[in-house]
Structure 1
Amino acid sequence: MSTKKEDLVQSAEKLFYEHGFHSTGLKRVIKEANVAVMTLYNHFSSKDKLIVEVLKRREKRYFAQLQVQLQESSDLSSICLHLAEAHVRWLVQNETRGCLFLRAKEEYGSDSSHPIVQVVNQHKSGLLRFFQKKGLTETQAMQLTLLFEGATAMAETEDVDKIGKELIYLTQRLF
């Protein structure tokens, strides 16, 4: 990815996460990224396409973090524990303003065929499939996803370290 495109995507993600999708205009993204207007349109034909790229890149980083943590996992309980630890690390490293995917769905969810809504839905179902590929049953994958989603939501209003400890505890108890 070109440096200018990278700057655009990073700036857009930061602004969308801090201020919301509809509240953040492209002029603000351009200014934050310190690029020309044409640079934006050379890479993205619309704001929606920029948002889709932001979400896909965030998803890629998230799944990469989960995968790295699994390198030393062998049995189901250690897999689940390492996944939970990776999720806690994600929460600690990223600001705790909730799930960017669910925030996108909240703003664009009135149209289920909207590309942004489809990316969000694919991300959530992709998390379930990821867990199943790691050896969890469909039910276990749903349970772990619910723990992660709950931790992400609670990290908006509670101390992230406390949330992390409870997520680890619950994961150990459940799996």
Structure 2
Amino acid sequence: MSSKKEDLLRTSEALFYQNGFHAIGLKKIVGESNIAMMTLYNHFASKDELIMEVLNRRERQYMEQLNFAIAADPSERKKISESIYVRLARAHADWMNGRAARGCLFLRAKEEYGEDASHPIVQLVDGHKERLKAFIQSADSERTTSEVLQLCLLLEGATALAESEGPEIAARELIAITERLFADLQ
């Protein structure tokens, strides 16, 4: 990826996360990125396309963090004292401590574009939430659908709570409740 495109994506993500999607125009993004409008259009045909790439990039980074937390070889997992769910909660807590003071960027996107369920951004957000559930299920295929939803609820709730209580407190409580509920899931 070119450095200009990387700068553009990083700046766009920060601006969208801080201000919302509709509140930020392309002029603000190119100004903050210190690039020309033509450079933006060389990489993205529209603002929606830029938003979708920002969300896709964020999802890749988040999923890499979760994957790293459970990356131990399956035969080695039995030697790790924490359940996979607790390790996922710790990874999510680490993510929140660095990025979640303003809630979930995906849900913020859905709030702004949700009036049209067929909008590509809404579809991307819904797909992200489904991919997260599938990832958790594949991380521990012995867990029930209900257990997967319970962990997702804890992750999402902690992210939402980070807005009012702060990421550190939400992360601490996420780990504590996950340990209580899922510590025995080896």
Q: Tell me the TM-score normalized by structure 1.
A: 0.96
Aligned partner of 1:74 among 52, 77, 88: 77
CA RMSD of the aligned region, Å? 1.4
Where in structure 2 are there 5+ consecutive unaligned residues?
Answer: none
Q: What residue is the counterpart of 1:4 in the other structure?
A: 4
Aligned mates of 2:169, 2:131 — CA distance in 1: 27
- Which structure 2 residues correspond to residues 94-105 of structure 1 after superposition, within 5 A? 94-105=99-110
Which structure is higher in RCO with an 8 Å CA cutoff and minimum separation 6? 2
Where in structure 1 are there 5+ consecutive unaligned residues?
Answer: none
- Which structure 2 residues correspond to residues 1-175 of structure 1 after superposition, within 5 A? 1-72=1-72, 74=77, 78-135=83-140, 136-175=143-182
**Deviations 1:109-139, CA, capped at 9 Å, x for gaps:** 0001101000100000111000000113211
> How many angstroms does 1:95 deviate by?
4.3
State, as a whole percentage, how many aligned pairs show the same letter: 54
Aligned residues: 175
Q: Tell me the TM-score normalized by structure 2.
A: 0.90
Alpha carbons of structure 1 residues 95 and 147: separation in structure 2 relative to 1, 3 Å: closer
Which one-letter code corresponds to 2:93 in the other structure? V
DSSP-derived class of the 1:59 partner:
helix
